[in-house]
Amino acid sequence: MKYQIRFTLNGEEQELYVPANYTMLRVLRDELNFMGTKEGCGAGECGACTVIADGRPVNACIVLAPEMDGMSIETVEGLAKDGRLTPLQEAFVSHAALQCGFCTPGFLMSATALLRENPHPAREEIIRAISGNLCRCTGYVRIIEAIEDAARDNGQ
Amino acid sequence: MDQLKHIGKSYTRSDAVNKVTGSAEYVDDIRLPRMLYAQCVRSPHAHAKILSVDTAAAWAMPGVRAVITGEEYPNRAGLYLEDRYFMAKAGDTAKYRGEAVAAVAAETPEIAQAACAAIRVEYEVLPAVTNAVEGMKADAPVIHPELGSYKVAPIFYPKPGTNISHHYVLRKGDFEVASFQADRVFTHKYYIPHVQHVPMEPHGCIARYDPDGKLTVWASCQSPYAVRQALSVAFGLPLHKIRVISQAVGGGFGAKAGTTLEGIVIPLARQCQGRPVKLVYSREDEFINAYVRQGMHATITTAMRADGKILGVHNEFIWDGGAYTEYGVNITKAGGWGSAGPYDIENVWTDSYCVYTNHPVGGPYRGFGMCEIHFAIEQNIDQIAHEMGLSEVEIRRINALCPGGHTGMGEKMDVAGYAECLEQVIRDIEYDVPSVQVSPTKIRAKGIAGGWKSPSMPTNAGSSAILRMNEDGTFFLMSSGQELGQGAATVLPQIAAEVLSVPPHMIAFVSGDTDHTPYEWQTVASRTTYCAGNACKLAAENLRDKLLDLAQIKMGAVKRDLELCDGYIVHKIYPERRIPMKDLALGITFDDGSGYGGPAIGVGTFTLENNINTDKKTGVATHHPAAFWTMGANGVEVEVDTETGHIKVLKMCSCFDAGKVINPALFCAQSEGAMVQALGTALFEELKLKDGKVLNPSFVDYKIPTADDMPELIPKFVEYAEPTGPYGARGAGEPLMVPGAPAIANAVFNAIGVRFTKMPITPEDVLNALKP
Ligand code: FES
Ligand code: FES
């Protein structure tokens, strides 16, 4: 039994027929070949699959495909426009806020959602916003500094 | 040395843009036409004889393309000890709970899973060994009865008929005499449980068998050449018929150093010629069926002189190697090599045993035995200081290994920055200033610990690099030193850039393809900056040499008067005489149209010379068995909540002697990551095992540090050049993690006066210890 779902992905309309037991993560990766969103656990526990859905960060691995109907979804592929990185992406590069990079798309999406909601978050608010994202390489400090740096760029 | 232009500069990571845009390609991101999906059937018993495997029902299912059992594996394979098939066979035994006994390739993951469920396996359950100390006893069930027939590297000594796959022995000096002369002798015991590496990217592999017999393997692996070798042995394939490709790797920490799931996918691919077969581990698989860090029981007996001088130590390390110890034997050896810690001790006796158990397979984990032994060594020192009324700082100062001193194995050290690192962290953590107390139930205190590590690699481990110059003066640097996140793809081009005097961004780094990028033993052991770095430097020097050969013809000058400078070949005396380097990319062309010298390409190969094994009987070094030793220290401050038992690490300071630091920002990033990883093992990580079963194979039950746990981090370094390192560099990625856990344990003792000799130190442990 397949469901028809319509949603926007990084601003583009999508219409698909998918099995009800597929997750949003599987739809993005296997049906649409958007590979930037990663699977680290498949159980909503690591944040590697974080995307922004209707403005809020969600773990794509625990959202079922039928729920995507009508959603506006943003993935890491939608951040840079015309080859220009967002200030947050730039900050990740300049702060060396990534090592293996597997967690990076998830952190970028959590932090992007945060900065839209709250352009000048305090350090505690940043930590809260990324506490569902696991990173094994960096020890987090550079990720937090990069987000702070991008927030500073947000103007007053 | 001339002023360095590119070494010591914090260039941004060459892989960063791809990684922040989601375009870096990891194995699971690869989609190949007509790809099939694999799943495994795994033993539900810790130790069981396999009576039969019935695959008929699986074969009958629509969409199933291949089904394999242990029969597919003609030969055992393994890195140092060839003790494993990639799958247990009927008639033989499954040796840990989770071992693969059959596998399926099918059109979808769902079909593969259903087919696995349809495979019937009959087992006869055998008594299991679930404790390494018990496993050494004479009456323990023997897990590998054929151990005596396994092929083994000649520096390891298995004991056939027992579960001991290696007994490492070190006998430097005479510990008995030392303890006779000692004013006091102390014996302390420690236990380090199994932990898992938890790379965020689970292991993955795709294999495709072409009709002409060529096997291509895309693996999330640290060491494509080591994987190629293991597969060649296991399947009897010539090396030129196997191509291993490793693209972006989502963290390894040792877990991706050996060969794990690759061996399962290959026979499936062989049955489905032309169609790629993919297997990606679930997180649960990752916890159970990738490598785990071995558990370890340590007993240290120390002979002390009243003034704080350590006269001798006798260490006993018993490693819980798990079901297969093809890699674990070398961790046991590394533990022996490092067993004195960064201290100059005249009499060092060490027995380090690798013991088979029916636990998940032990493998290399960042630090390769050093995190484990230093949890013991560095607490032992604090305990002795405390019991003798000495200061923890002073006892380390008295015994620190200094230039001119000798390692536990007896190597003379010309360079040793330990003492300076120690002083730096003592200053940074203000060790002599007591913590400011903020609450009567939240006790703060500080702790310190040191540590060291050498690469425990084969003495002849080789590296190579090829540097190609393009017509426009850009370059390709080809090496199989892998980028795992540690920064190889940034640092190795920096080394070549320094030689060639061009900006590093003009050098593209190409790696991870055994058909195209040259041999590299492995990307492990914190050896890449050093070994692959040397090969890259030699390749660049080779290319420079060839360019200067051509330039002397073209410029009518003597080679020794020419140098490379910012993309030009320049006359040292008449600097206005210069030509762009790129003009020589294809050789030179004379006025009559004839050419000479061909396309510019440099080759570098590196094997450390005179790196000689230790004495077989005593383990004592006559020369240098270790390429280098990287030393340093951590200072930490913790807060222990006496009501909840919760330990918060407030601050961690690190200082290491990394020789010349090629890229300071990337070094510091590694240091920060290492400290937080160490914090995780000290406070919450433990693979809980019961009767061979992993009880907590998920992030809900196995916690790793989150941003919330992050303390203030101060990463520092000192730079005493490594004489044989490229520009004086030595490796650092692993050693940086070594002192963190014991420093935290020492701080906890200083806070509440309780010594925890087992990690992790959980709130429950703290509350139990504080019970009146
Ligand atoms: S993959 Fe979705 S939270 Fe881990
Ligand atoms: S950079 Fe490797 S997990 Fe975060």
**pLDDT tens by residue, A92-101:** 999 999 999 9
Whose CA is closest to B552, among B599, B575, B584? B584
* Cα angle B339, B345, B346; round to 5: 115
Q: Which contacts (CB < 8 Å, 24+ apart) does range B430-434 have?
A: B431/B393, B431/B635, B432/B393
Give the whole-number percent of chain B exceeding pLDDT 70: 100
Distance CA A137, CA B407 (A): 31
Q: What is the DSSP string of B655-700?
A: EEE-BS-S-HHHHHHHHHHHHHHHHHHHHT----EETTEES--STT
| Domain B16-23+460-607 identical in fold to domain B32-126+203-280 | no
Q: Which residues contact B154 (CB under 8 A, 6 or more apart)?
A: none
Bridge-based pairing state of the strands B100-106 and B36-42? antiparallel
* Cα A140 to middle of ligand 2, angstroms: 9
CB contact under 8 A, B707 and A96: no
Distance CA B127, CA B124 (A): 10
Q: Break chain B into its structural domains and give their ranges.
A: 16-23+460-607, 32-126+203-280, 295-457+613-770
Instruction: Calculate mean pLDDT across residues B262-267.
Output: 96
Whose CA is closest to B38, among B76, B82, B87? B87
Q: Is domain B295-457+613-770 given the CATH code 3.30.365.10 in the classification?
A: yes
Question: Contact, B429 vs B653, CB < 8 A?
Answer: yes
Condensed to tens digits (0 to 9), the pLDDT of residues A19-71 reads 999 999 999 999 999 999 999 999 999 999 999 999 999 999 999 999 999 99
Q: Which pair of structure tokens corresponds to residue B620?
A: 């004592």
CB contact under 8 A, A99 and B12: no
Q: How confident is the model at residue B305 (pLDDT cuts 50, 70, 90)?
A: very high
Total beta-carbon pairs less than 8 A apart between chain A and chain B: 166
B1, pLDDT greater than 90 = no
Distance CA B721, CA A130 (A): 39
Look over chain B and give the mean of its residue pLDDT values, rounded to a whole number. Answer: 97
Distance CA B743, CA B377 (A): 11
Distance CA B39, CA B117 (A): 10
Whose CA is closest to B38, among B266, B221, B260, B220? B266
Give the helix/strand (H/E) hosting B134.
helix B132-135
Question: Contact, B431 vs B391, CB < 8 A?
Answer: no
Crossing angle between the packed helical segments B370-388 and B740-752, to the nearest 10 degrees: 30
Distance CA B702, CA B710 (A): 17
Question: Contact, B572 vs B641, CB < 8 A?
Answer: no
Distance CA B729, CA B736 (A): 15
Q: How confident is the model at residue A155 (pLDDT cuts 50, 70, 90)?
A: low
Q: How confident is the model at residue B227 (pLDDT cuts 50, 70, 90)?
A: very high
pTM of whole model > 0.90?
yes
Q: Which pair of structure tokens corresponds to residue B297?
A: 């029981």
Which residue minimizes the CA distance to atom 3 of ligand 1? A44
Sheet holding B48-54, edge to edge: B93-94, B48-54, B120-125
Domains and CATH numbers, chain A: 2-78 (3.10.20.30), 87-152 (1.10.150.120)
Give the helix/strand (H/E) hosting B229.
helix B224-235
Distance CA B399, CA B378 (A): 12
Say whether residue A135 is in contact with chain B using an 8 A CB cutoff.
yes
Q: Could you say which architecture CATH assigns to the domain B16-23+460-607?
A: 2-Layer Sandwich (3.30)
A16, pLDDT greater than 90 = yes
Condensed to tens digits (0 to 9), the pLDDT of residues B98-130 reads 999 999 999 999 999 999 999 999 999 999 999
Residue B447 in contact with ligand 2 by CB distance below 6 A? no
Condensed to tens digits (0 to 9), the pLDDT of residues B404-423 reads 999 999 999 999 999 999 99
Residue B104, CA distances (Å) to B174, B275, B277 in order: 57, 14, 10
Condensed to tens digits (0 to 9), the pLDDT of residues B311-340 reads 999 999 999 999 999 999 999 999 999 999
Residue B200 in contact with ligand 2 by CB distance below 6 A? yes
Q: Which of B11, B12, B13, B19 to mutate to test the interface with A (most CBs of A within 10 A)?
A: B19
* Cα B533 to middle of ligand 1, angstroms: 36
Question: Contact, B19 vs A77, CB < 8 A?
Answer: no
Per-residue pLDDT, B594: 95
Condensed to tens digits (0 to 9), the pLDDT of residues B70-97 reads 999 999 999 999 999 999 999 999 999 9
Helix, strand, coil percentages for chain A (3-state, nearest 5): 40, 20, 40
Q: Which amino acid is at B642?
A: T
Q: Which CATH class is domain B32-126+203-280?
A: alpha beta
Listed by number, the residues of chain A in 107-126 with a beta carbon closer than 8 Å to a beta carbon of chain B are 108, 126
Crossing angle between the packed helical segments B392-399 and B418-429, to the nearest 10 degrees: 160
Question: Contact, B70 vs B85, CB < 8 A?
Answer: yes
Instruction: Calculate mean pLDDT across residues B607-611.
Output: 93
Which candidate from A94, A102, A132 shows the least CB-CB separation from B201? A102
* Cα B253 to middle of ligand 1, angstroms: 20
Q: Which residues contact B295 (CB under 8 A, 6 or more apart)?
A: B132, B191, B192, B193, B194, B319, B320, B359, B362
Give the helix/strand (H/E) hosting A144.
helix A141-152
* Cα angle B27, B325, B682; round to 5: 75
Task: Classify B581 in phi/psi space as left (phi over 0), alpha (psi -120 to 50) or beta.
Answer: alpha
CB contact under 8 A, B31 and A140: no
Q: How confident is the model at residue B772 (pLDDT cuts 50, 70, 90)?
A: confident
Residue B512, CA distances (Å) to A45, B250, B485, B516 in order: 31, 14, 14, 8
Number of Cβ within a 10 Å radius of residue B471: 11
Residue A44 in contact with ligand 1 by CB distance below 6 A? yes
Per-residue pLDDT, A18: 96
Distance CA B571, CA B564 (A): 9
Q: How confident is the model at residue A153 (pLDDT cuts 50, 70, 90)?
A: confident
Per-residue pLDDT, B656: 98
Atom of ligand 1 nearest to the CA of A61: 2
